[in-house]
Amino acid sequence: MQIRLASVADTDALVSLVNSVYRGESSRVGWTTEADLLDGQRTDRDALQDFLSRSPDLSVMLVGIVKDQIIACLQLEHLGDEAHLGMLSVQASDQRQGLGRQMISAAEQHARWAWHARYLTIDVIHLRHELIEWYRRRGFELTGERHEFPYGDARFGLPKRDDLWFISLCKTLSLS
């Protein structure tokens, strides 16, 4: 898999990928689905175009490409000495092949070398136990921090439950 920075020209492919991985029946092919927790979209064209139009000193989106097709992506935001990872997506039919690990490795490299970040953080819905354990196996540790879910904001999906929140995980990045 080739990994590169996304551009605004990738917007439609990214919207399709992310929504198919997290929402609806198509997401059930993979293990990262949130279809039992949320309906609606995971992201939209406007949100991704806004993200992609920011300065690369503040945020980037990495894409994984196989045979000229985007099959993986993630968002990365620069927040001082940390970088925040979000929206890690691997096409459902291509999950369990190590592509998520490759994307995280690329995110770590970018965070260290482009931004000199010391930490990589991520927020995960607290009910996603399998996903939390997957991140822990990648070196992330629970921080004890909790963040509220953005109820009432359809840009992030339509909750099927009233007990959703995010927990934070953090990984210390080596500088070598």
For the chain, give every domain's residue range.
Answer: 2-172
Q: Which residues of the chain have pLDDT under 70?
A: 176
CA atoms of 122 and 152, how far apart (whole Å):
22
99-137 pLDDT per residue, tens: 999 999 999 999 999 999 999 999 999 999 999 999 999
pLDDT at 32: 78
Q: What is the CATH number that goes with domain 2-172?
A: 3.40.630.30
pLDDT at 88: 97
In sequence order, what are the residues at sequence separation of 6 or more whose Cβ sits closer than 8 angstroms to the Cβ of residue 104?
74, 85, 88, 138
- The candidate with the shortest Cα–Cα distance to 103, out of 114, 90, 112, is 90
pLDDT at 176: 61
